[in-house]
Amino acid sequence: MKVNRIYPIILFLLFFQSFSAQKDPVLAQKGFVDLSVVDLQDKVVALDGEWEFYWQQLIEPKYFGSYPVGYGELPGFWKNYADEYPKFGYATYRLSIFLNEEQQDLNLGLRLNNIHSSYKLWFNGVLLCEVGKVGKSKAESIPKWVPQHVQLTNLQEENTIVIQVSSFRHRNGGIQDPIEIGNFEYFETVSRHQFSSELFLGGACFILSCFFIGMFFFWRKDRATLHFGLFSLFFGSRVLLVGARSLAATFPDLSWDFCIRLEYVGIFAMHYFMFHFIYYAFPNQTSRVYRNVLKWLTPVLLLLCFVPGDFFTYLTIPNNYYLILTFGYSTFIFIQALRAKVPGSAWAVLSMIIFFVTTIPILLEYSNLFVTNPLVLSLCYLAFMLSISLVFASRFGSLFSDLETISQIEKKKSLEISEQKESIEKRNQLINDSINYAERIQHSMLPSEKKLQSYFKECFLFYKPHGTVSGDFYWFHPTSNQNESFIAVADCTGHGVPGAFMSLIAISALDNIVKRNPNITTTKILNDLNSTIHNRLQKNNDDIAVVKDGLDIILCKINMELKSITWSSAHHKLFVIKASGETEMFSGDKHHIGSIFKDNFTFNESTLELSKGDQIYMFSDGIYDQKGGTAGKKLYMKRLSELLVGVNKLPFEQQKKAVTQFVEEWIGDGVQMDDMLLFSIRF
């Protein structure tokens, strides 16, 4: 801890010490005390010393003459007297007080705090107050703890105080606190201040409890807030149960049993929740073993609070030692946290010092060794609650600082991301513009459907690229014979931009091949196309491990007048549906355009003679390899051929719509996997 934080602690200890110092009593001897030389107007005198003591006797003022006199020390419990009286019983106390003439004119009063557990008080034969009900047995007596201040009237030179006391439910019977005499108005003022301060402190504790418990329900990750809230709840209840006994004074119908049990439950619960607050606030410095011991021990102590009062009140003795052990260990935890620079640890150390210094007198009071100053305790409790709250303030401040730092980092990252996004969008726009331009170029190289229909009166084209541009293409080239033309359906390696580039190369190559030799055969075209593609894409024809770039294609030379087709194919199929309803599927050569010819391979050429009403279909594999349907399987050639047979008799416009609708329904919510192309002609 830094040096500048030590000075407030030293000043606080000096402040505590100055307020907790006990006033010098005027000791009574043999039941008499002379106050004639004491200034009772400005000074409070504790009537300590030897009072007349009558054990197992409840004597009213007018009957004292016939009883033997004994003496007992005040304050004190019966079991601590020389004769070692039992803890249960009843007795009468009497004290004679001498006053001078001036003192007899003063407004004097008596202040009485903890008397175990019920009593009656007479002054000069007049009954001034009765707290609880005094009796000779447990059944006849009613315990009650409520501090009193009574006004003394009919003051004389020699005055007599008589107090009857009975106790049958607490381990300590007798008068615990000094009985004080002094200015009655001063007692009233002190009582009001003490009552108000305890209500204020208790209310503050309950507000803190609601705040931190509510905080936990909104942020359940920090369980320290829950346990500190519960600690504050029991702490506040205990503040109202001790000192001025504000709770019992405000609600006089509350029984002594309820209040004393609630007081002891509060002691054990405070211990439990305070340590668990420490455990969750500083988990890296706290032992789980010690927490588990407390976790099992506390329920046992709480259950014992419901046995008879003369038994469970003994639990304060072992609990005091356990509290001291917990205080010591908690201080060690806080020091370790302070060394580790855990947020809030400095305030935790300060709060523990305050709590420790505050608790020592309480422990001594429960052990009958010390009488606490209620005002000082209230101030110390308030200082403790404020300091422990600053633990959370420090933690939250550190958290908010970290969040602010993270926010700044995130803001910087967001700015960088925004700039990158803008750059990517610009690049993406350039790419899209380039692709769209490539699409226009590609479409310009493909014949329109209207142009095809002008040559082939009955035909339709189903063309569905996977992206903006396609790796599938169709090629058309009329010959010098107006009834004869070339038509091809091809599928290049890949799709999208790479496939589109390959399609442009292939279309250009086909145009050049046919222009050089208008009467060329289909097999010659595919052989030359294979050589052209291979030479353009491969640098070394002898390299076996070449990249398999190229295309699959079916090429037909169609004579509409003779109703004949001459065709060659690289992997692609030709499907024929005759007017009679018969179907034929023709497969091409299993050779990929762009690969090396082996063993003098050459593409085959076939000729088909067709009749009126016969229809041919050429297509790429993107259609029948598409996955879809309810099972997510491929369409396959069987389903495609069934589809084409089913729509064959329809007009071409309806055929195209039927094929388009079927394919879209087959894909459904799935993704199109490849470019799709289908071309059909009816003779």
Answer for the pair 461, 655: CB distance below 8 angstroms, yes or no. no
**Cα 348 to Cα 452: distance, rounded to the nearest angstrom:** 89
Q: Is the peptide bond before 389 cis (omega within 30 degrees of 0)?
A: no
Torsion of CA 437, 438, 444, 450, to 10 degrees: -90
Q: What is the mean pLDDT of the chain?
A: 82
pLDDT of residue 12: 46
Answer for the pair 149, 110: CB distance below 8 angstroms, yes or no. yes
**Cα 166 to Cα 56: distance, rounded to the nearest angstrom:** 9
Answer for the pair 39, 182: CB distance below 8 angstroms, yes or no. no
C-alpha pair distances (Å), 366 with each of 172, 203, 267, 360, 426: 10, 25, 12, 10, 80
**Cα 265 to Cα 233: distance, rounded to the nearest angstrom:** 12
pLDDT of residue 361: 65
Residue 548 burial (CB count, 10 A): 9
**Cα 508 to Cα 486: distance, rounded to the nearest angstrom:** 15
Domain locations along the chain: 22-178, 194-404, 446-682
Among left, alpha and beta (phi > 0; psi -120 to 50; other), residue 494 is left
pLDDT of residue 9: 46
Residue ranges of the chain with per-residue pLDDT less than 50: 1-22, 368, 540-541, 543-547
SS3 520: coil
Alpha-helix residue ranges (DSSP H) falling in 246-373:
246-250, 256-281, 288-304, 309-312, 316-339, 345-366
Answer for the pair 458, 426: CB distance below 8 angstroms, yes or no. no
Taken in order 206, 209, 215, 218, the sign of the CA dihedral is: negative
Answer for the pair 173, 88: CB distance below 8 angstroms, yes or no. yes
Tell me yes or no: is domain 446-682 CATH 3.40.640.10: no
C-alpha pair distances (Å), 106 with each of 42, 124, 125: 11, 16, 19
**Cα 458 to Cα 651: distance, rounded to the nearest angstrom:** 9
> How far, in whole angstroms, is CA 2 from its chain's centroid?
34
pLDDT of residue 17: 40
Q: Which residues of 73-112 are buried (b: 16+ CB within 10 A; e: fewer)?
A: bbbbbbbebeeebebbbbbbbbbbbebeeebeebebbbbb
Q: pLDDT per residue over 157-175, tens digit each?
A: 999 999 999 999 888 889 9
The CATH architecture of the domain made up of 22-178 is Sandwich (2.60)
> How far, in whole angstroms, is CA 87 from its chain's centroid?
53
**Cα 258 to Cα 264: distance, rounded to the nearest angstrom:** 10
Taken in order 96, 101, 104, 107, the sign of the CA dihedral is: negative
